[in-house]
């Protein structure tokens, strides 16, 4: 039996449900492997005849499954050629996740509590600034032609000061202004990654990373995670063995919330230097400590000589709707990225850039402290609710960020999430964050974005259907 067919056989056994026809069970098995990253983009699947023989199914069953997967956009087929997993399959799946609506909740007794999206509503200072730009000092005026491809000078200067406060030696010509953190990641990955050298990233990552990687088609190296975060020693060994083009890490990890502390970060920095890899340091949640006292350390501050692209955004603290992010790197690479962006657009709104500059300079740190305190209270409610339940679930207050990782042994996390939706709570199964087969099994991610009372209510609902 081929390795792909063997993995499908195992997945089929876990998806087997007597109420579903066999072809639908096979569809579920293949989709679950694609969604979790267990099947890479472009994987050639066995032919209808081969898969039917190896799984002891009728050829009509396999034909029906492949037809449904093709119609759903998961595979591409041509006459006389084995089916291939589409390169955009996971991205399409992520888009469908974003369209889940409360109308899918069968239980109409309660409103849906959405803990799947790790974003907050606009902070009060953001609402005030957008409703009354004249209240900002200096007052924001609409002027000029409205194009800002290199970033508004006020925002560039504010980002430089922000990075310097974190110990990063930054200068204006080292800054690239982007339309959010996701755009920043995509720019860097698109400029460096390719099919010849891999991208190394944690064994579970936030779903947006799969979209950023989809078009590069770079091979993936999955860095192992433990209950305490990244296994730095083993990850360093893998980096040296695989020699990736990029090593991607998040300081307060999304989805687990674990801190990449200075000691472990230095091990990753040393390994990346040994193989000439660029490190992407995602600092979007860096200023939201929850279970630890301080913000996460910046890798570029730990080693100013390392090849680090620092990604930042005010989205997790102020509001994602500002659509502002930035990259800090060496001046030469920064200039290249600005030119690369010019092929896409002429930059974000100068008005929002100026608003963000004022907020970043005068309100970001204080707002981050407020968000951290509220998140700590919400996370404590989750920990207490899980501890009081008669279930073998495990959860700990995250070190930082807005995400919590709840291990649910004894429960299929995908099925649990589906039952949770019917009970009125939306969570994300861990498999949707996995870069290798099995990495996210038996866990769900919760976003700590609702008041503590609602967090308790949501967990009660989830526990009731476990």
Question: Domain for residue 129, yes or no?
Answer: no
Domain boundary among the residues 343, 365, 387 is at 365
**Do 236 and 215 share a structural domain?**
yes
**Do 388 and 248 share a structural domain?**
no
Please give the DSSP secondary-structure letter assigned to residue 200: E
**Do 379 and 236 share a structural domain?**
no
Q: Please give the helix or strand (H or E) that residue 235 lies within, else none.
A: helix 232-242
Question: Domain for residue 69, yes or no?
Answer: yes
**Do 373 and 355 share a structural domain?**
no
**Do 232 and 183 share a structural domain?**
yes
**Do 304 and 206 share a structural domain?**
yes
Q: Which domain holds residue 149?
A: 137-365
What's the CATH number where 460 sits?
3.90.1150.10
Q: Please give the helix or strand (H or E) that residue 5 lies within, else none.
A: helix 3-15
**Do 279 and 264 share a structural domain?**
yes
pLDDT of residue 105: 38
**Do 282 and 166 share a structural domain?**
yes
What would the two tokens of residue 195 be?
Answer: 């099919």
Question: Domain for residue 127, yes or no?
Answer: no
pLDDT of residue 99: 41
**CB-based contacts of 447, cutoff 8 Å, min separation 6:** 115, 116, 117, 118, 119, 402, 403, 404
pLDDT tens-digit profile, the chain (466 residues): 566 777 677 666 655 555 668 888 888 778 777 765 667 667 888 888 888 888 888 999 999 999 888 887 788 887 778 888 875 555 444 444 444 333 333 444 458 999 998 889 999 999 999 998 887 766 666 677 777 778 999 999 999 999 999 999 999 999 999 999 999 999 999 999 876 788 999 999 987 787 777 767 788 889 999 989 999 999 999 999 999 999 999 999 999 999 999 999 999 999 999 999 999 999 999 999 999 999 999 999 999 999 999 999 999 999 999 999 999 999 999 999 999 888 878 788 888 999 999 999 999 999 999 999 999 999 999 999 999 999 999 999 999 999 999 999 988 888 899 899 989 999 999 988 888 777 888 999 999 999 999 999 999 999 999 9
Question: Domain for residue 348, yes or no?
Answer: yes
What would the two tokens of residue 167 be?
Answer: 């110990």
**Do 329 and 191 share a structural domain?**
yes
Domain boundary among the residues 365, 398, 422 is at 365
**What is the number of structural domains in the chain?**
3
What's the CATH number where 356 sits?
3.40.640.10
pLDDT in tens, 187-237: 999 999 876 788 999 999 987 787 777 767 788 889 999 989 999 999 999
């Amino acid at each position: 039996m081929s390795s792909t067919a063997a993995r499908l056989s195992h997945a089929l056994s876990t998806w087997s449900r007597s109420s579903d026809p066999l072809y639908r069970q096979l569809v579920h098995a293949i989709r679950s492997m694609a969604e979790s990253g267990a099947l890479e983009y472009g994987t050639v699947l066995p032919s209808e005849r081969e898969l039917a023989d190896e799984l002891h199914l009728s050829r009509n069953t396999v034909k029906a499954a492949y037809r449904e997967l093709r119609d759903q956009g998961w595979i591409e087929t041509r006459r006389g050629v084995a089916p291939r997993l589409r390169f955009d399959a996971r991205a399409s799946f992520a888009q469908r996740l974003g369209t889940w609506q409360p109308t899918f909740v069968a239980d109409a007794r309660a409103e849906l509590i959405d803990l799947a999206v790790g974003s907050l509503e606009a902070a009060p200072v953001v609402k005030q600034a957008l409703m009354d730009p004249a209240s900002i000092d200096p007052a924001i005026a609409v002027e000029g032609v409205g194009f800002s491809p290199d970033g508004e000078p006020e925002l560039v200067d504010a980002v430089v000061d922000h990075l310097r406060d974190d110990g990063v030696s930054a200068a204006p010509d080292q800054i690239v202004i982007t339309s959010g953190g996701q755009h920043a990641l995509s720019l860097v990955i698109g400029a460096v990654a390719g099919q010849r050298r891999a991208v190394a990233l944690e064994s579970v990552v936030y779903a947006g990373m799969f979209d950023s990687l989809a078009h590069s088609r770079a091979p993936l190296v999955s860095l192992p995670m433990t209950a305490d975060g990244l296994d730095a020693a083993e990850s360093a060994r893998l980096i040296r063995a695989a020699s990736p083009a990029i090593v991607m890490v998040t300081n307060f990890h999304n989805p687990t919330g674990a801190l990449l502390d200075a000691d472990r970060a230095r091990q990753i920095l040393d390994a990346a230097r040994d193989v000439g890899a660029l490190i992407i340091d995602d600092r979007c949640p860096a200023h939201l400590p929850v279970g630890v006292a301080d913000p996460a350390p910046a890798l570029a501050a730990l080693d100013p000589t390392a090849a680090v692209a620092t990604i930042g955004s005010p989205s997790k603290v102020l509001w994602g709707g500002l659509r502002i992010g930035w990259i800090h790197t060496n001046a030469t690479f920064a200039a290249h990225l600005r030119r690369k962006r010019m092929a896409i657009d002429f930059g974000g709104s100068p008005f929002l850039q100026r608003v963000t500059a004022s907020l970043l300079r005068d309100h970001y740190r204080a707002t981050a402290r407020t968000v951290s305190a509220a998140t700590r209270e919400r996370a404590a409610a989750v920990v207490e609710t899980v501890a009081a339940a008669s279930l073998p679930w495990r959860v700990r207050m995250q070190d930082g960020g807005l995400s919590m990782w709840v291990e649910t042994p004894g429960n299929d996390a995908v099925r649990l999430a589906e039952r949770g939706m019917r009970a009125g709570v939306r969570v994300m199964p861990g498999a949707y964050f996995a870069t290798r087969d099995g990495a996210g099994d038996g866990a769900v991610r919760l976003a700590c974005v609702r008041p503590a009372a609602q967090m308790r209510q949501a967990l009660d609902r989830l526990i009731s259907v476990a």
